[in-house]
Chains A and B, each alone.
Chain A
Amino acid sequence: MREKKLRLIITFHTTTDAMAFEKHCLAAGLPGRLIPVPTSITAGCGMSWMADPADRAALEDAIQKDALKVDALYEVVH
C-alpha cells in the first residue's frame, strides 16, 4: 500500500456535485483527483476530492468564487 500522509479531502453530497467540481478543477488547472471517501471521514461509499493540504487556499477560493457545491473539507492522514 502507498505511504499514508496528511491529505486535504473534500466531500460532496452527490456524485453530480463531485463531477461538477472535477470539471471545474480540470478547466481551471486546480490540483487533485477523485478518490473513494476515506472511511475515517464517513462510512458511506461516495467519492471525494483528494489534494495536498498546501493547495487548500486555492481550492477554497474556487469553492467560494465559483459557488461550487461541496459538503465539507477535511485534513486527514490517508
Chain B
Amino acid sequence: MIYLDNAATTYHKPQQVIDAVVSAMQGMGNSSRGSHSGALKAARTVYDARCKAAALFGCDDPSRVVFTANSTEALNIAISGLFAAGDHIISTDLEHNSVLRPLYRLQAEQGVSLDFVRADKQGCVDYADFERLIRPETKAIVCNHASNLTGNMLDLARIGAVCKAHGLLLIVDASQTAGCVPIDMKSMGISVLCFTGHKGLYGPQGTGGMCIAEGVEIRPFKVGGSGVQSFSKTQPVQYPTRLEAGTLNGHGIAGLSAAFDFIAETGVETIHAKEIALMRRFYEGVKDVDGVTVYGDFSTDARAAIVALNIKDYESGEVSDELSETYGIATRPGAHCAPRMHEALGTVEQGAVRFSFSYFNRSDEVDAAVAAVKEIAE
C-alpha cells in the first residue's frame, strides 16, 4: 500500500517508538500510583515526556504539559474549562469538528456566543477579520494551525499579536502541525496548545496533550483518581494533576516520548522540508491535469503537506475507493470533519480526495499517485 493519508494518522512509525511501547508493555507500572520500581519507571517516563513536549513547543514549565488521549480531548478540556455565559469566542471556517462541536455545545448549553472568520474559495482568511469581530465580551480566539482539508496554515504569530493587544486567550489546535512545523508558544502568544501524538509526531494513537501558558487556569473536565491528596473531596488544583484524573496511557506516552526524541534528532525543519517537497512534487504533477480541481493556497510553503482535489464531477468516495482498489493508494475522501471548510470551498456535495504526506513517504510513491490521478482523469 502507498499510504497518503497521513493527515488522518501517520502509518509508518519510527522503530524507536515501536520499541518504546513494547518495552513499556513488558514492564511498567502505573504513574503516580505508588513508589515501587514499576510505578517509578512509569512516573519517570511520563515526566520525561512532559519535559520533551515542553521543550518542543516552547512551554516553560513541564508541569503545565497535560497528557490527553488526543487533541480532541485536549480541545474539549480547554474549551469547556475557560468560558462562562455571556462570553464571546472567535473561531474560523478552517476548523475541524474537534473545535467546532465543543464551541457549538458551549453556544447551545452555556450561552456563549460565537463568530467565525470566513474563508474564501481558496480556503484563505482575511486577518483583519479577527480584529473586526472583537467585541467587549470577546474572551478568546480558537483556531487551528493548519486546515486538515486544504493544508493552508494560519499565521499564529499574527493572530497571537491580536490576542495580546486585546487581552484574549489564543487556543490552538495543532493537530496537523505538531512535530512537522515549528511551534513556539511564547513567540506566537499561544495560551493553550492542543496536540495529538499520532500524526506529525509519529507517536501512538491514544496519545496527545495540551501545553498551558502561565496564568491560564482551566477548570477540570473530569475528576477522579490522582494518586495524591486522596482525602480531598475535590481534584487537586495543581497542574498537571488538575486535568489528568484517572490512569494515564503510560504505554502510549512511553512511545510518545520516543517520538519526541525522533523529532528532536531529525529536526522539525528537516521534516517539514521533506514533507513539503513531496507535496510539491504531487501538486505540480496534478494541478494542470484536465478535469482535476485542486483546493487550497499553494503560493507558500508555510503550510501542511496536504493536497485536496476532485476529479471531474466524480464522487470523492468513488475516486478514493478506485485509488485504493486499483492502485493500492490510501487517501481520505468525504468531508474530513471540516464542514465549514467544505462550505467555503463549495465541495459540500462532492467532498474532496485528500492526499497527505509524511516524512516516510518516497518520491516514487508520489509519482505513482500522480500517474493514478492522471489515469482516473482520462
* Contacts between chains A and B (CB distance < 8 A), count: 65
Contact residues in B for A46 (Cβ distance below 8 Å): 32, 227-229
Binds A, one of B70-78, B136-144, B230-238, B278-286: B230-238
Interface size class of A (residues with CB under 8 A): 20 to 34
Q: How far is the CA of A47 from the CA of B231 in the complex (A)?
A: 15
Asked whether B241 is an interface residue with its Cβ less than 8 Å from the other chain, the reply is yes
Assess whether B34 is in contact with A36, with CB atoms less than 8 Å apart: yes
Question: For the side of the interface on B, what is the size category?
Answer: 20 to 34
Q: Are the CB atoms of A43 and B47 closer together than 8 Å?
A: no
In the complex, whether B361 has a CB less than 8 A from a CB of chain A is: no
What are 30 A-B contacts with C-beta separation under 8 Å?
A12-B228, A13-B238, A13-B241, A14-B32, A14-B63, A14-B228, A14-B238, A15-B227, A15-B228, A16-B47, A16-B50, A16-B62, A16-B63, A16-B239, A16-B241, A17-B238, A19-B43, A19-B44, A19-B46, A20-B62, A34-B40, A35-B35, A43-B230, A44-B228, A44-B229, A44-B230, A44-B232, A46-B227, A46-B228, A47-B35
Binding site for A on B (CB under 8 A): 31-32, 34-35, 40, 43-44, 46-47, 50, 62-63, 227-232, 236, 238-241
**Closest CB-CB distance, B251 to chain A, in whole Å?**
17
Nearest 6 interchain pairs by C-beta:
A19-B47, A46-B228, A15-B32, A47-B35, A13-B238, A14-B241
Give the B-binding residues of A (Cβ under 8 A): 12-20, 22-23, 34-36, 43-47, 69
Measured CB to CB, the closest approach of chain A to B32, in angstroms, equals: 4
> Measured between alpha carbons, how far is A44 from B47 in the docked complex, in Å?
21
Among B40, B50, B230, B236, which residue has its beta carbon within 8 angstroms of that of A13? B236
